[in-house]
Structure 1
């Protein structure tokens, strides 16, 4: 197979959030979109989508309130630390190591999952409201994409994937939004050997929506093991599948490893980087069994799989 050297761009306008009633869309148009998205997930695991329908003003606001929080002193942010038993709150620099063979990642984050005890919010203006609105819009977009994945996989029910994620934003589903911040690296900062901003990893769940800033740095590994840039494209969302979806499809779709290295150029090292990820999980009780009935992977519940992955990361 020829390795993909560029991540494809899919125009979602026929089925994006700008379409009020998705049931009125021509089936042949939907089929074409479904084939494009599943084809990208098969070849490289990623694609950009444009004309998706999430307002740019909301994306900008999300990054702005996040930056205000991240630029506050560590002593302040510590008050909102993510507890070990939940997935809401701040994650400090170097707290995670997505590639266990490397030192802790040089990044920090704030996680939000409506199912958790989310009373502990920073008193940054519009922080909580923006996070919740962003979660809701991302959820709406994800469900549209799941329809396309169901069609592209020919599972026999165009709403199969949507129905397996019916509890997003409610008890019984672990989907979370994560605002990520990569601090600038001052000239006198000592970087540990092999340390990176975000270690090589594939995502845990079924689907990820990634909203990048204009700084860049993300790299995606193609099927020949070569890392290619996932450079920001204005107006797009970068989407990819996670390990759970690869498992579910018995490797028909590929969860691709990706990373963010520490830039070699001094000017880029001194510049911060932001992104926002919507990490989507099927409902907790959904049993992930190979859709082709091959039993290539043992059945496991969505929630148990997530717990296994969290244990390896923290």
Structure 2
């Protein structure tokens, strides 16, 4: 029998310890005309929190929980389709778009099976989405993907402010998101982790059934970034940025399965929405300990990818993270849904730490000469985004693709 949640089941998480920064995106404007003062405020917040934590929770981002829940319902319906129908949408080798079943997922090193279903959308083409067997799927998921793209564009502008560079620098290098994975590898990934129960001690079993959702409902089902009142002052910061006592490491057991193996994301950044607390863990900058992140209903988690870390010469670190099977029975028996938007530069974009100014660099003549010499020597080793991401896939994966 599944236990009901009690006070003894309260999780110790980074969120419960007020370690995860929270950034309010209310009244940020529309994608084409963002409110400049809000872009500046969020940019200054990102400058601090990404350097210190490498992640932040975004609230009032304009994407309703009801719209996310509908997307997860569509994914559940897809998972329930007959195998011969799902076969038409299986991800082919060399293609980022499509479905990967639970049976096809494996750990990064190919040793530990991962329990999840994943559907990647990297090209908004109705022919690549299961509209015929699931009416409404293509329209809803395409709209949601564009919502995440619009949110990513706002973050790209705020990141430019945070680094004191041209406001269009990142936008110009991410101009083909979701148009074609041959031009840009940005991807919206829908994920479903089946519930797990223990029939016998130490034996994990997967239950193929629908999850129980845990949501904070939004007032609107449509993103609305238009200002209703005067924007907040630029120096206003709505975040939790301290620690209440010591942080304790969460260590994974010796079970034979995991939901997603340890990794860092490769792109510029990732936006992650999840339906409940489901085992997401991260290592904080400079730490080798694993900590449960926690779940804030209605929030979207922003974490840096390796390309942004390269661009910023490590000032914005890419955090290693994983998804474990929760030890609490009432959580593991619910399963988990999430949606990750991986924001990547256009494939032909060169990625070099010399692209952005480094405010910490010494300005004397000898240092500048050395930097020019080092840059000349390294010039031939600069990868474009496609080469860099492909290299990371080859180095890290064992013929599989992972996410939160």
Q: Under TM normalisation by the shorter chain, which class is it?
A: 0.7 to 0.9
- Worse-superposed segment, 87-96 or 129-138: 87-96
The CA distance in 2 between the partners of 1:35 and 1:100, in whole Å, is: 39
Q: Structure with the greater relative contact order (CA < 8 A, sep ≥ 6): 1 or 2? A: 2
Tell me if structure 2 keeps the 8 A contact 1:220–1:229.
yes
Partner of 1:140: 150
2:67 match: secondary structure: helix
Query: CA RMSD, aligned part only?
Result: 2.7
Tell me if structure 2 keeps the 8 A contact 1:212–1:276.
yes
2:70 match: secondary structure: helix
In structure 1, which of residues 197, 203, 206 is the aligned counterpart of residue 268 of structure 2? Answer: 206
Write out aligned runs for 1:93-242 (5 A).
Answer: 93=102, 95-97=104-106, 99-100=108-109, 102-114=111-123, 118-119=127-128, 121=130, 123-155=133-165, 157-171=166-180, 172-188=183-199, 190=204, 193-223=255-285, 224-242=287-305
Deviation at 1:301, TM superposition (A): 0.7
Tell me if structure 1 keeps the 8 A contact 2:272–2:301.
yes
Residue ranges of structure 2 left out of the alignment (5+ in a row): 1-13, 206-253, 359-370, 400-404
Change (3 A) 1:264 1:81: same
Would you say how many aligned residue pairs link Structure 1 and Structure 2?
A: 307
Write out aligned runs for 1:18-33 (5 A).
Answer: 21-22=33-34, 24-26=35-37, 29-33=38-42
Deviation at 1:141, TM superposition (A): 0.7
Change (3 A) 1:117 1:137: closer
Tell me if structure 1 keeps the 8 A contact 2:204–2:257.
no
Tell me if structure 2 keeps the 8 A contact 1:16–1:141.
no
1:88-119 residue CA offsets vs partner (Å, 9 max, x unmatched): 11112253445327413221201111178953
The CA distance in 2 between the partners of 1:292 and 1:21, in whole Å, is: 27
1:111 match: secondary structure: strand
2:313 match: secondary structure: coil
Write out aligned runs for 1:66-85 (5 A).
Answer: 66-74=75-83, 76-85=85-94
The CA distance in 2 between the partners of 1:252 and 1:14, in whole Å, is: 28
The CA distance in 2 between the partners of 1:216 and 1:246, in whole Å, is: 27
Residue ranges of structure 1 left out of the alignment (5+ in a row): none
Deviation at 1:52, TM superposition (A): 1.0
The CA distance in 2 between the partners of 1:16 and 1:234, in whole Å, is: 23
1:140-175 residue CA offsets vs partner (Å, 9 max, x unmatched): 1100000010110122x0111111101112231111
Normalised to the residue count of structure 1, the TM-score between the two structures is: 0.88
Tell me if structure 2 keeps the 8 A contact 1:109–1:178.
yes
Normalised to the residue count of structure 2, the TM-score between the two structures is: 0.69
Deviation at 1:280, TM superposition (A): 1.2
